[in-house]
Amino acid sequence: MKVLTGKEELQALSYLEKAAEQALHSSCYRSRCGSVIVNNNNKIIGAGYNSPPGDVCLESCLKNSLPANFKSDKTCCMHAEQRAIVNALKNNFTQLPGSRLYFIRLDEQGNKQTAGKPYCTICSKMTLDVGIAEFVLWHEEGITVYDAKEYNELSFAFSQ
We report the CATH number of the domain holding residue 24 as: 3.40.140.10
pTM for the model stands at: 0.90
Q: Is residue 65 situated within a structural domain?
A: no
Q: Is residue 101 situated within a structural domain?
A: yes
pLDDT digits (tens, 9 = 90+) for 58-95: 665 655 565 666 555 666 789 999 999 999 999 999 99
State the average pLDDT over residues 38-65: 80
CA distance 151 to 148: 5
Query: Does residue 151 carry a pLDDT above 80?
Result: yes
Q: Is residue 130 situated within a structural domain?
A: yes
State how far the alpha carbon of 123 is from the alpha carbons of 7, 25, 78, 106, 156, in Å.
27, 19, 10, 18, 11
Task: Give how many domains the chain has, as a whole number.
Answer: 1
Q: Is residue 24 situated within a structural domain?
A: yes
Q: Is residue 9 situated within a structural domain?
A: yes
Contacts of 108 (CB under 8 A, 6+ apart): none
Instruction: Give residue 15's domain range.
Output: 2-52+75-157
